Amino acid sequence: MKIVEKPWGREIWLAHTDKYAFKIIEINQGTRSSLQYHVKKHEHIYVERGVLEMEWENDEGRMETRILNPGDVIENKPGRKHRATALEDVCLFEVSTPEL
């Protein structure tokens, strides 16, 4: 296990193998991640706790915004921009390909 502190919260890396990665991501209320994309990484994110505003690039290349609640899942495909803003303290489970 590895804990990575971030300006917006922290990541708890529970698994990182040559085939997959699994992280718990905690985002503090009122903070957000950077607008980012991954060349190879493909990820699915499950909202365990809190309310999250998620921005991501759709299939047409336009940015969309959606409010995610506990139990919701979102997929971030390689090359697609995305950003998360915590409307409450948020806990996410992220499973992805191994590129971190």
pLDDT value at 98 more than 90: yes
Confidence at residue 29, expressed as pLDDT on a 0 to 100 scale: 99
Mean pLDDT of 79-86: 97
- Is 84 a residue whose pLDDT tops 80? yes
Distances (CA, A) of 80 to 21, 32, 37, 90, 92: 19, 17, 5, 22, 19
% helix / strand / coil in the chain, to the nearest 5? 0, 55, 45
43-49: strand order across its sheet: 2-6, 9-16, 21-27, 90-96, 43-49, 73-76
CATH numeric code, 2-96: 2.60.120.10
> Given a cut of 90, is residue 100 above it in pLDDT?
no
> How high is the pLDDT of residue 5?
98
6-63: pLDDT as tens digits:
999 999 999 999 999 999 999 999 999 999 999 999 999 999 999 999 999 998 999 9
Q: Which of 16, 76, 78 is nearest to 44 (CA)?
A: 76
pTM: 0.92
